[in-house]
């Protein structure tokens, strides 16, 4: 089984390669842009058959240069929600995706691609339906436009596609192999580094009608994201757009307490409640950044009805379980 993973050196892409390797699949063409050379670390311990630069891949694939490919996991994109260059965003996230979709259909290759919960933006309902799609930034719009294009071409549930097409609206994904993402890395990653450096973690204060650290997101652990992607690989008749989150929103305070207590546990220190951690100065609430006002989702929670109706019954880790596993991984993999 030959597989292509775009964005293969990135966060989700490299974890998908890892998940495929765990199944004994290593006939994998990894596609990425390693201008930021340190991303190689995400592939160094994995098995692939070939690496192709993203600038070359899309034209070569359309020409059939790689022979018969079973499926493409399309994770390559500009994922910086603060990026303001709309032309760059649309070229990367929309135009290339459209070209890849048509090439996959022409060659009988299945396409499993990354959409985003940013397509919902200012909505308070997170169900895969056009009336709830209200992106707040050009990143969210670029992802939504591709979803809309596919609905127009192959039907609202992608039912008219020649081969399987499935898009995943990732919610707040966190976990190993995101260290290269800089400011776009998860809050758990940043809090690990904050605690290591300063003995405390930072959270936004009051905003959007929520108290300090009370904004709520659907935080989903990377292992669960991989498991759902691979379920779709195993189920080629499942197609459409699907939310990929836990289905349960939790406050940022839950992440902070889990980070603090997991790292304290490694030092055999007493476990703390939220109030105890805040009173002890282990959680530092900071003013909400003006640059994010009006562009920030204070609440997200994936509606999993469509995913469950498709037959995927995967059980997701909560913040407490996922963050504890992630903190242990970060601690084990600290750079000397």
Residues 215-251: tens digit of each pLDDT = 999 999 999 999 999 999 999 999 999 999 999 999 9
pLDDT value of residue 300: 95
Residue 4 and residue 50: Cα distance in Å, rounded? 10
Concerning whether 94 is annotated as a catalytic residue, the answer is: no
Which of 240, 296, 231 is closest to 128 using CA atoms? 240
**333 and 176 in contact (C-beta within 8 Å)?**
yes
Q: Report helix, strand or coil for 68.
A: coil
What spatial distance separates the first Cα and last Cα of the chain, rounded to whole Å?
A: 38
Which residue among 181, 202, 248, 295 is the active-site one?
A: 181
Long-range contacts of 226-230 (CB under 8 A, 24+ apart): 226/12, 226/15, 226/16, 226/18, 226/19, 227/19, 227/314, 228/168, 228/307, 228/312, 228/314, 229/16, 229/19, 229/73, 229/112, 229/168, 230/16, 230/19, 230/20, 230/23
**Tens of pLDDT along 67-84?**
999 999 999 986 666 666
Give Cβ neighbours of residue 243 (< 8 Å, ≥ 6 apart). 117, 126, 127, 128, 168, 169, 171, 302, 303, 304, 306, 307
* Of 248, 244, 190, nearest in space to 217 by CA: 248
Q: What percent of the chain has pLDDT over 70?
A: 97
- If one counts every other C-beta atom within 10 angstroms of the C-beta of residue 249, the result is 20
pTM: 0.95
Give the pLDDT band (50/70/90) at residue 271.
very high
The mean pLDDT value for 87-96 works out to 88
Residue 73 β-bridge partners:
5, 112
For the chain, what is the mean pLDDT? 95
| 16-30, 33-47, 69-83: range with lowest mean pLDDT | 69-83
Distance separating alpha carbons of residues 251 and 70, to the nearest angstrom: 40
* Vertex 203 angle, CA 198 and 209, to 5°: 165
Per the CB < 8 A criterion, the answer to whether 53 and 9 are in contact is no
Give CA separation, 16 vs 172, 296, 307, in Å: 17, 28, 19
pLDDT in tens, 284-326: 999 999 988 887 889 999 999 999 999 999 999 999 999 999 9
3-class secondary structure, 288: coil
**Alpha-carbon dihedral sign for residues 101, 103, 108, 113:** negative
User: According to the model, what pLDDT value does residue 89 have?
Assistant: 83
Instruction: Check 58, 94, 113, 139 and give the catalytic one.
Output: 139
* Mean pLDDT calculated for residue range 197-203: 96
Given a cut of 60, is residue 336 above it in pLDDT? no
pLDDT in tens, 156-181: 999 999 999 999 999 999 999 999 99
Q: Is 295 tagged catalytic?
A: no
The single residue listed with the structure tokens 């022409």 is 106
User: Of 74-78, 113-117, 118-122, which has the strongest mean pLDDT?
Assistant: 113-117
Which DSSP symbol is given to 271?
A: P
Task: Give the strand pairing for 3-6 and 71-74.
Answer: parallel
CA–CA distance, 180 with 41 (Å, rounded to integer)? 9
Closest alpha carbon to 272 in 171, 193, 201, 183: 201
Distance CA 27, CA 48 (A): 6
The answer to whether the CB of 142 falls within 8 A of the CB of 119 is: no
Q: Is the CB of residue 188 less than 8 Å from the CB of residue 257?
A: no
């Amino acid at each position: 089984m030959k597989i292509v993973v775009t964005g293969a050196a990135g966060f989700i892409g490299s974890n998908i390669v890892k998940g495929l390797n765990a199944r004994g699949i290593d006939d994998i063409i990894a596609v990425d842009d390693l201008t930021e050379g340190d991303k190689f670390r995400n592939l160094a311990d994995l098995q692939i058959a070939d690496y192709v630069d993203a600038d070359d891949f899309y034209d070569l694939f359309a020409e059939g240069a790689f022979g018969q490919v079973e499926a493409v996991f399309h994770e390559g994109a500009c994922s910086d929600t603060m990026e303001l260059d709309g032309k760059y965003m649309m070229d990367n996230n929309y135009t290339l995706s459209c070209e890849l979709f048509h090439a996959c259909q022409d060659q009988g290759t299945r396409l499993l691609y990354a959409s985003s919960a940013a397509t919902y933006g200012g909505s308070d309902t997170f169900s895969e339906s056009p009336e709830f799609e209200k992106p707040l930034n050009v990143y969210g719009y670029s992802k939504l436009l591709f979803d809309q294009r596919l609905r127009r071409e192959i039907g609202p549930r992608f039912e008219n596609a020649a081969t399987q097409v499935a898009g995943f609206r990732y919610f707040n994904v966190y976990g190993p192999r995101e260290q290269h993402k800089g400011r776009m890395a998860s809050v758990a990653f940043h809090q690990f580094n904050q605690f290591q450096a300063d003995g405390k973690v930072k959270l936004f204060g009051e905003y959007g009608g929520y108290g300090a650290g009370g904004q709520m997101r659907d935080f989903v652990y990377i292992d669960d994201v991989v498991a759902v992607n691979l379920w779709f690989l195993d189920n080629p008749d499942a197609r459409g757009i699907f939310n990929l989150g836990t289905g349960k929103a939790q406050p940022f305070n839950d992440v902070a307490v889990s980070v603090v207590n997991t790292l304290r546990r490694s030092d055999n220190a007493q476990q703390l409640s939220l109030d105890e951690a805040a009173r002890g100065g282990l959680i530092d609430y900071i003013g909400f950044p003006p640059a994010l006002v009006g562009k920030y989702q204070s609440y997200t929670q994936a509606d999993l009805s469509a995913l469950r109706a498709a037959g995927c019954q995967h059980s997701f880790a909560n913040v407490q379980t996922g963050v504890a596993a992630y903190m242990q991984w970060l601690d084990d993999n600290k750079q000397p």
